[in-house]
Amino acid sequence: MTLQHRQQRVGVFADVQNMYYSAKNMYNSKVNFIEILKEAVGKRALIRAIAYCIKADISDESNFFDRLEKIGFEVKAKDIQIFPGGAKKGDWDIGIAMDMIELAPRLDTLILVSGDGDFVPLIQHLKRAVGCRVEVIAFGRSASSKIKEEADSFFDLDVKKEKFLIPIKKQGKRKNNGENVQDKGKKGSS
């Protein structure tokens, strides 16, 4: 059970890549960040919500970032690193940790939206040295067991997965004019 009261100041820190790959690999779906933010905050006072993204030069990327901003996230994005030999890397672990440490004195509860076990030392530090409550929200099936144990509370998105997932649309057959046959009559859907 999550300890909540209206005056509790919360910050939400969403590791978008971690959540994206968990939803895609386990459920072939996208993440419903609107519902995750609502669940994270509840009736508490949201002070900051930050979504950490990697720019991958894919179609609809800027629209996705815009949608995150419209629902209340500050978007921090950086380019994916490409190393000699073609290896790619893109993560925000240090950036997320720094922001959480820097913002902790102004918050009562920090909410990490990620199942990445690399954050366990960060959670320990925030609880021990700073005295903040740390909650974690992630898909339980892909979340580190250590992060589940270390958090003051762990909300498993798998329990209500229909609420927190958006099915990936399948590509329908195309007409000659390029209109999607399956989407005919569904204008304005996304």
Give pLDDT tens digits for 97-148: 999 999 999 999 999 999 999 999 999 999 998 899 999 999 999 999 999 9
Q: Structural domains in the chain?
A: 10-167 (3.40.50.1010)
Residues of the chain under the 50 pLDDT cut: 1, 173-190
What's the chain look like in SS3? CCCCCCCCEEEEEEEHHHHHHHHHHHHCEEECHHHHHHHHHCCCEEEEEEEEEEECCCCCHHHHHHHHHHCCCEEEEEECEECCCCCEECCCHHHHHHHHHHHHHHCCEEEEECCCHHHHHHHHHHHHHHCCEEEEEECCCCCCHHHHHHCCEEEEHHHHHHHHEEECCCCCCECCCCCECCCCCCCCCC
